[in-house]
Structure 1
């Protein structure tokens, strides 16, 4: 704190608040953090009178028994008196007995971050839920309003929570005042005057100007980047490179630069000398922000347009909502439009379209603009209907979910319904739900294909492995029912993984984890080859971002994994262009064959129920 009497910290220690999901095979600790304080000097009364040390158990509401006891009027009075009688003198820490002088601050446990102490008050941030966005903001701050700010008055033992979420805050050196950032606005206030709706006085920065000398600033950004790599790169010997010489060589080019993008390019070339993945350099001050212009783009109809012998284009496939994502839109899938696959596109905005003319030249639109399509079930304008639709800017999601659905149906058909299929796009928090959706649908199949081709990486692969490696140990039986598995979350399926050259980062870690645990067969080609990962990034003075490859993996055999090589499959199968153009997926077909063979050779069925006991 500002007086040097107390040290505040956040502690992951609340294990009594537990939530179970409806499937009864997952649990989380929704509020694990408690705010703690240590009295640095011996001989003082406890800051929160009557407060016991945190060994006493918590109650289910998130506040410990000693916390509730320490929040009453008596405790407040004693705390205030204790504050008056604090021992004056130079800053010191009495280490003897310090383990007995730490206490729970009387606030409920929560998801807390960034404890900062002021004069007589402790501040900290919280979030209700913790997902991908919160992780990104925590490790590489982007200035988004994600945090609820808590201010706890130690003397009054009163907590204030701002009603508006903020992105950051700072406390003045004397501990009296606070600066709060929300979006691009800044507010100042006395630390004790901030309340639920009151962020303080908004600073008027419209008349504030400053001059930037770009060459000195670029030198600082370069030097910061060079030092960050020296200090945080996973290998202190920098892959054998003379890092000092590298800095001198690339620094000499700074006078020749004429843009911030040029500096990013130069930095990328320097860190590229390390021959390693995840060396990301981005952002920075590119000048005044420009207002977004009303741009024209090529509109898409969510359909495959295939020319016919008569020259008209046929709607060979129409894309829209799928069974996996009903929220997807498609210009041609509204039921009131009465458009079907196989219909003909006669005209766009009244102009007849025939091959070889490119229909997309007449779909140049701005956002929200509609076009008129003339469509008929027969290759003639007679009896055609004219529809007004809003083209899409992108069809990626619609086509992706159709691809997944087609793969799933192909696998089910080829295996007579015995093998399930899933595709995992990345290894983030949201992808755990993606996995669970298919896992719960297919875990009781005899086989399961996990497709990680094109996986964008992340950090959650071991959550998937945790589910895949759960073993069945027994059977449950109830009167009038067939036996069922115990634990219910276990699967007896044979597993196969499909991978390719576009599977990267944590998707590659999934391959190595899957193989190390001997969970099944991996089919495809070596992956991307980038498993020296990143945990956080640093911000440059002009709001650029520099990531260092600070987290590398080696296996049980004592060898580095994946980097610059890829995760190897057990069975090498390439999807050559000719096969793909012919509608084949040799990797997926091989996975089906492997699992069908394993199912035939190692079948599994429920055993007979043993004779019931006579007692």
Structure 2
């Protein structure tokens, strides 16, 4: 038995069966999906601890059954909060990457903040003093997370996003439809200029804020929207998405516009690949883009602007570093290089900005030291310490920034960030006018490199 999230999403318990002369067979144990998961054995029987509940694992059915336990006890939050405060302080004291604690007296910080312990009236108060104390380190990757049943709320509001952008000066008239959104589906046929007049058969009151019609305690499974187009009314039904999913579509639109800009400026000679973060999923998409859209181009822009980090810098740099060392062919066939993909044989530019952080900064550092090409943009965020963490008595979590990251000549990247080879800013005016000086500079740099 093992715990893995290799199929994406939450972690699950997996069973691998080994038999002589047969390939190993791995199967998921159902109903074990959680990020708070453990496997235990008692009297040669397997058990799982899932979100604080004990389950027996049935290896025949690949399922679990909950063991109902009832153990009455008294709980004093004030005592718990005090214990958690000192444990969190001690964990950081033992694990913070810099033994000088960024120049502060960490023991003095404990004394400064422990005086508030007798006055904590809620979990929110505990979060405040612990995160304020961690903030004294002036370091990234610090945080204290805590949620308790006493804080659960009965009501919550959800936004049902349709994929429609309405006109700024006419909030019920369609301006445009976002690509890939629920409204961007075959047969919907909603056009710019159409005016929203009803939702689920209820007429719109133009005096009411439009967003109120799309907010409810539960995410809507379906919305019926009626639009006026001249003298004709049109009703369409959609399955709305969350506001988070809608923002992701806007991000994808930005990437698509960048790729179109590069194609236009370079006459499709330069490939463009953007990484949103440095997760495994993002690296997988990077490899798909590199081996489909980008590998046949004469140059390459790798865009790490707004990248929020992760831990795949070595994989990205290893791939970008590949150069051809031989070629082969079948009789009367065409020569192909080895390796099949050799990005470093062509000009490469890496884009960063002030919101490129964490593992994106390590990637930019490695790109410069390996001399793979020019880094263009602005100085990075200065937000890179590799992190572990510790769970406290009630399941609360404290991050532990434990591994400092340094350049080969000893600079602490957490403090210095990455300075681009060519400094180019993108202003608010540029954004409003749809310009991107960083991409424009990158294209010029590659086209110049292609002449050499």
What TM-score, normalized to structure 1? 0.64
Write the mapping of 1:138-149 to structure 2, written as runs, cut at 5 A: 146-148=12-14
Shift of 1:187: 4.4
Query: How many residues are matched?
Result: 434
* Distance in 1 (alpha carbons) for counterparts of 2:29 and 2:8: 23
* Distance in 2 (alpha carbons) for counterparts of 1:351 and 1:277: 50
Stretches of structure 1 that go unaligned for 5 or more consecutive residues are 1-124, 134-143, 153-159, 322-329, 603-615
Write the mapping of 1:392-403 to structure 2, written as runs, cut at 5 A: 392-394=241-243, 395-403=246-254
* Distance in 2 (alpha carbons) for counterparts of 1:391 and 1:567: 41
In the alignment, structure 1 residue 501 sits paired with structure 2 residue 354: yes
* Distance in 2 (alpha carbons) for counterparts of 1:164 and 1:201: 10
Q: 1:388 aligns with which of 222, 237, 243?
A: 237
Shift of 1:486: 2.2
3-state secondary structure, aligned to 2:90: helix
Over 3 Å counting, the alpha-carbon distance change for 1:419 and 1:261 in structure 2 is same
Shift of 1:587: 1.3
Q: 1:302 aligns with which of 145, 154, 163?
A: 163
Match of 1:226 in 2: 89
Match of 2:194 in 1: 344
Shift of 1:433: 1.0
Over 3 Å counting, the alpha-carbon distance change for 1:278 and 1:317 in structure 2 is same
Over 3 Å counting, the alpha-carbon distance change for 1:202 and 1:487 in structure 2 is closer
Over 3 Å counting, the alpha-carbon distance change for 1:318 and 1:565 in structure 2 is same
Deviation track 1:229-263 (CA, whole Å, cap 9, x = no partner) reads 11111122323322222212211111111111211
Q: Is the 8 A contact 2:178 2:184 kept in 1?
A: yes
Shift of 1:265: 1.6
Q: Is the 8 A contact 1:271 1:279 kept in 2?
A: yes
Write the mapping of 1:398-437 to structure 2, written as runs, cut at 5 A: 398-437=249-288
Over 3 Å counting, the alpha-carbon distance change for 1:196 and 1:573 in structure 2 is same
Shift of 1:282: 0.6
Stretches of structure 2 that go unaligned for 5 or more consecutive residues are 19-25
* Distance in 2 (alpha carbons) for counterparts of 1:353 and 1:592: 49
Match of 1:261 in 2: 124
Q: Is the 8 A contact 2:273 2:286 kept in 1?
A: yes
Shift of 1:528: 1.1
3-state secondary structure, aligned to 1:533: strand
Write the mapping of 1:80-479 to structure 2, written as runs, cut at 5 A: 125-127=1-3, 130=6, 146-148=12-14, 164=30, 166=32, 167-171=37-41, 180-182=48-50, 184-187=52-55, 196-197=60-61, 203-205=67-69, 207-287=70-150, 289=152, 293=155, 295-306=156-167, 315-321=174-180, 330-340=181-191, 342-349=192-199, 351=203, 359-365=210-216, 366-368=218-220, 369-376=222-229, 380=230, 382-394=231-243, 395-440=246-291, 441-479=293-331
Structure ranking higher in helix proportion: 2
* Distance in 1 (alpha carbons) for counterparts of 2:250 and 2:28: 43
